[in-house]
């Protein structure tokens, strides 16, 4: 084969674009660059003026301080517990429900789907207050009697933090859209072979749905990781704080120590970025076939 | 776990003879309910019941600190909220915040998308970089901007360099909301860019080539071909972001706590204060439902108006 079309080469306009994009990138990335800079500066330099981009004597002191004398490690553990539980619950329950709504014809499926869609549209703040009362009045938890009186219920517990994140309507919707695109013939073939419905879901369709499971995992993890308003309402003791709460109270505690604060911010950012990069390939694929972009 | 044990149980009886049609449908139906059950239970407890309970609360006066439960008083709470200045002020602040953010973020995101649509050295890296603020949690972003806006932070340093007086960005009534908007627009750029990029890549090459053949320069092609074709996707970006921005809370709570002088008190901030500072759960619930209906109306109108514009 002879080469007929010229190989794509970088023309002058290509490099000009690189330069324009480079300038835009400097502006967009600037806050992160300064975050890194402050996190690795010794305390004496953090308050130096004018602010220097590069630390004179880069140090891990801020990270050590965060580890030894702040609430951040505890908060990190809490956030991990809540986020991984959210991921597990959504990957199992939301995909199962999405599958049933897409592929199984059962009584009430239609109504259920409408309920799922409708509840995805209601702003979280509408549920905030009643959910707070339900959490406080949860029967037989936190010193409550059977009717939910007398104690604090699930307030200030991991279960309480987890409650509104357990199953998110949007995830059910995404899973349903994905399963609708998969061929129903696989199920028919399996039925002829005598496989039960639940086995068909678990053994045939769920493995095929890896992209949407990854998408749901990424969305639920980042959602749980960022959640702020609910933890703010439900948590009262430092031991139960999640990372966003710990960051917020750290920032609000008198004279702000920007060095350790930026170190903690990095600690809060790294897991989501890692999860996002890990899930990215599947993520894009999953959203694409779900018919939803972004 | 439950699904796994369930699957072996359901599979066993079917294994021997091929079942008849009717029985098959019955097992299918049962399987359907087993699969949705965990989600349905969670959805009922966490979403359906709270929404109904919340609506009831909005018709009551309820202070959880005092003895006795919610006292029903019909629409009194709504009347009180609607006739109070605070609620409408918060609606105004929220509208300014959301629209201001979009006015910066949508053109910015479109610009970035046009910039990285195509092949040039480093394009993949630039796409990821521009997307990064979107991935980073809002609370973390707020921490970074807290420093940027601080007395000795980056922005005041730039003002110093330009020979201008320093600004108390977050504590000055004139600049607080603007500062929040700038931060939020920066964070929103990447998400918008990715969606616009998808839109740009969906435009058929033949259309652009036809425009070029007809002698359209790059700017005219952009104005008369590319941009009109992006109207539907812009509608989508605007509506989704408006709904999202109308529910802003974390960054406001952290950076300004709604102040100074309520100049950044968005509706969610007001609801939070009403419920968890003043313990007026009934009125706070009424506000939540009013916000819900405003968002709903807004989204509906937007879709109507903007999609009509696209068809023209």
Q: Can you spell out the DSSP letters for chain A? A: ----SPPP---HHHHHHHHHHHHHHHHHHHHHHHHHHHHTS-HHHHT-SSPPSS-SS--SHHHHHHHHHSSHHHHHHHHHHHHHHHHHHIIIIIHHHHHHHHH---TTHHHHHHHHHHHHHS-HHHHHHHHHHHHHT-TTSTT--TTS-SS-TTTTSHHHHHGGGSS-HHHHHHHHHHHHHS-THHHHHHHHTT--HHHIIIIIIHHHTHHHHHHHHHHHHHHHHH--HHHHHH--SGGG--HHHHHHHHHHSSS--HHHHHHHHHHHHHHHHHHHHHHHHHHHHHHHHTT---
Is B181 a member of any domain? yes
Let me know whether B130 and B250 are in one domain. Answer: yes
Secondary structure (DSSP) of A140-179: TSTT--TTS-SS-TTTTSHHHHHGGGSS-HHHHHHHHHHH
Closest residue on chain A to B149 (Cα): A31
Q: What is the pLDDT of residue A283?
A: 65
Residues of B in contact with A174 (CB under 8 A): none
Task: With a cut of 70, say whether residue A127 has pLDDT above it.
Answer: yes
Above 60 in pLDDT, residue A243?
Answer: yes
- Which residues, in sequence order, are CB contacts of B287 under 8 Å at separation 6+? B81, B87, B267, B270, B271, B274
**Taking residues A33-55, what's their average pLDDT?**
88
For chain A, what is the mean pLDDT? 87
Q: Does any domain span residue B63?
A: no
Q: B64 at the A interface (CB within 8 A)?
A: yes
Q: How far apart are CA A239 and CA A249, in angstroms?
A: 13
Contact A194 B18 (CB under 8 A): yes
Mean pLDDT of A199-215: 91
Is B25 found in the same domain as B173? no
| Cβ contacts of A173 on chain B, cutoff 8 Å | none
Residues 102-131 (B) with a CB less than 8 A from some CB of A: 112, 115-116, 118-123, 126, 129-130
Query: Model ipTM?
Result: 0.87
Could you tell me the CATH number of the domain that includes residue B132?
1.10.3720.10
Q: Nearest-CA residue of chain A relative to B292?
A: A123
Q: Token pair for residue B88?
A: 């409408």
Asked, for residue B129, whether it belongs to a domain, the answer is yes
pLDDT digits (tens, 9 = 90+) for B6-46: 344 444 444 444 555 677 678 888 888 999 999 999 999 99
Using a CB-CB cut-off of 8 Å, the residues of chain B touching A262 are 143-144, 147
Shortest Cα distance, chain A CAs vs residue B10, angstroms? 6
Q: What is the mean pLDDT of residues A151-164?
A: 93
Q: How many domains does chain B have?
A: 2
B155 and B246 co-located in one domain: yes
* Residue B158 shares a structural domain with residue B209: yes
The tens digit of pLDDT for each residue in B51-82 reads 999 999 999 999 988 777 889 999 999 999 99
Q: Is the pLDDT of residue A31 over 90?
A: yes
Residue among A26, A33, A25, A30 at smallest CA distance from A262: A33
Nearest Cα to Cα of residue A21 among B123, B256, B80: B123
Query: What is the CB-side half-sphere exposure of residue A287 using CA atoms within 13 A?
Result: 16
B53 & B119 share domain: no
Give the pLDDT of residue B237.
87
Query: According to the model, what pLDDT value does residue A11 have?
Result: 61
Same domain for B164 and B31, yes or no, is: no
Would you put residue B71 in left (φ > 0), alpha (ψ -120 to 50) or beta? beta
> Which range of residues forms the domain containing residue B12?
2-58
Residues of chain A with CATH 1.10.3720.10: 64-289
pLDDT of residue A7: 46
Answer yes or no: do B132 and A273 touch at CB < 8 A. Answer: yes
- Could you tell me the maximum CA-CA distance found in chain B, to the nearest angstrom? 88
Q: What is the CA radius of gyration of chain A?
A: 25
Neighbours of B297 (CB within 10 A): 10
Interface test with A, best of B39, B130, B192 (most A CBs within 10 A): B39
Q: Count chain A–chain B contacts defined by CB atoms under 8 A.
A: 303
User: Are both B270 and B152 inside the same structural domain?
Assistant: yes
Question: Residue A107: what pLDDT?
Answer: 85
For position B184, what pLDDT does the model report? 97
> Which CA distances in Å does A22 have to B109, B120, B123, B158?
16, 12, 10, 20
> Looking at residue A40, what is its pLDDT?
95
- Within 8 A of A134 by CB-CB distance, chain B residues are 45, 49-50, 53
Residue of A210, A223, A224 whose CA lies nearest to A175: A210
* pTM, entire model: 0.88
Please tell me the least confidently modeled range out of A5-19, A47-61, A270-284, B243-257: A5-19
Other CB atoms within 10 Å distance of the CB of residue B5: 10
**B215 and B243 in one domain?**
yes
Contact yes or no for B59/A130 (Cβ under 8 A): no
pLDDT confidence tier of residue B306, bands split at 50, 70 and 90: low
* Chain B stretch 239-268, residues whose beta carbon is closer than 8 A to a beta carbon of chain A: 240, 243, 246-247, 249-250, 253-254, 268
Q: Domain A64-289's class? A: mainly alpha
Q: Has residue B121 got a pLDDT over 60?
A: yes
Q: Where are the alpha helices (DSSP H) in B44-175?
A: 49-58, 76-83, 85-116, 123-135, 138-148, 154-161
Same domain, B133 and B217: yes
Task: Identify whether residues B41 and B164 lie together within a single domain.
Answer: no
Same domain, B38 and B164: no
B118 shares its domain with B16: no
C-beta atoms surrounding A113 within 10 Å: 18
pLDDT tens figures, B148-169: 999 888 999 999 999 999 999 9
Nearest Cβ partner for A93 among B33, B39, B64: B39
CB spacing of B152 vs A49 below 8 angstroms: yes
pLDDT for the residue numbered B311: 47
Q: What percent of chain A has pLDDT above 70?
A: 91
């Amino acid at each position: 084969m002879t080469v007929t079309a010229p190989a794509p080469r970088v023309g002058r306009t290509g490099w000009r674009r690189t330069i324009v994009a480079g300038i835009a990138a400097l502006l967009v990335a600037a806050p992160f660059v300064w975050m890194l800079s402050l996190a690795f500066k010794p305390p004496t330099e953090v308050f130096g003026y004018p602010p220097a981009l590069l630390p004179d004597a880069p140090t891990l002191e801020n990270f050590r301080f965060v580890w030894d004398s702040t609430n951040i490690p505890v908060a990190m553990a809490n956030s991990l517990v809540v986020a991984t539980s959210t991921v597990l619950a959504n990957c199992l329950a939301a995909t199962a429900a999405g599958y049933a709504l897409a592929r199984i014809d059962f009584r009430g499926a239609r109504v259920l789907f409408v309920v799922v869609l409708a509840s995805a549209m209601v702003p979280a703040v509408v549920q905030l207050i009643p959910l707070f009362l339900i959490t406080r009045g949860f029967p037989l938890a936190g010193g409550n009697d059977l009717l939910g009186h007398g104690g604090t219920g699930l307030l200030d517990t991991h279960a309480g933090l987890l409650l509104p994140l357990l199953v998110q309507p949007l995830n059910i919707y995404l899973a349903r859209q994905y399963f609708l695109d998969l061929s129903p013939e696989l199920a028919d073939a399996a039925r002829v072979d005598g496989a039960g419905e639940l086995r068909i879901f678990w053994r045939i369709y769920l493995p095929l749905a890896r992209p949407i499971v990854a998408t749901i995992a990424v969305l639920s993890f980042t959602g749980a990781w960022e959640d702020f308003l609910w933890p703010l309402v439900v948590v009262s003791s430092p031991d139960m704080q999640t990372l966003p709460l710990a960051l917020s109270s750290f920032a609000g505690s008198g004279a702000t120590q920007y060095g350790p604060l930026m170190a903690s911010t990095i600690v809060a950012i790294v897991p989501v970025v890692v999860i996002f990069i890990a899930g990215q390939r599947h993520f894009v694929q999953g959203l694409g076939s779900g018919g939803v972009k972004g | 776990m439950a699904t796994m044990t369930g699957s072996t149980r359901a599979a066993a009886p079917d294994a021997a003879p091929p079942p008849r049609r009717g029985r098959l449908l019955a097992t299918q139906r049962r399987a359907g309910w087993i699969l949705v059950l965990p989600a349905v239970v969670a959805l009922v407890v966490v979403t359906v019941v709270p929404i109904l309970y919340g609506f009831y609360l909005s018709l009551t006066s309820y202070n959880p600190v005092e003895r006795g439960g919610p006292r029903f008083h019909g629409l009194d709470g709504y009347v009180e909220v609607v006739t109070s200045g605070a609620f409408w002020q918060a609606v105004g602040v929220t509208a300014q915040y959301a629209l201001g953010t979009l006015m910066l973020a949508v053109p910015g995101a479109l610009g970035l998308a046009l910039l990285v649509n195509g092949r040039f050295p480093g394009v993949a890296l630039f796409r990821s970089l521009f997307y990064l603020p979107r991935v980073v949690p809002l609370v973390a972003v707020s921490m970074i901007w807290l420093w940027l806006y601080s007395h000795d932070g980056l922005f005041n340093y730039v003002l110093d360099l330009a020979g201008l007086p320093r600004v108390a960005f977050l504590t000055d009534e004139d600049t607080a909301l603007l500062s929040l908007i700038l931060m939020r627009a920066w964070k929103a750029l990447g998400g918008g860019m990715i969606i616009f990029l998808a839109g740009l890549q969906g435009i058929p090459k033949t259309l652009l080539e036809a425009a070029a053949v007809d002698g359209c320069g790059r700017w005219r092609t952009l104005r008369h071909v590319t941009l009109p074709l992006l109207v539907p996707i812009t509608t989508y970006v605007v509506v989704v972001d408006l709904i999202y921005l109308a529910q802003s809370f974390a960054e406001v709570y952290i950076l300004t706590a709604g102040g100074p002088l309520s100049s950044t008190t968005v509706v969610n901030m007001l609801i939070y204060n009403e419920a968890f500072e003043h313990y007026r759960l009934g009125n706070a619930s009424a506000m939540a439902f009013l916000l819900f209906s405003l968002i709903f109306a807004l989204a509906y109108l937007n879709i109507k108006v903007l999609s009509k514009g696209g068809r023209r």
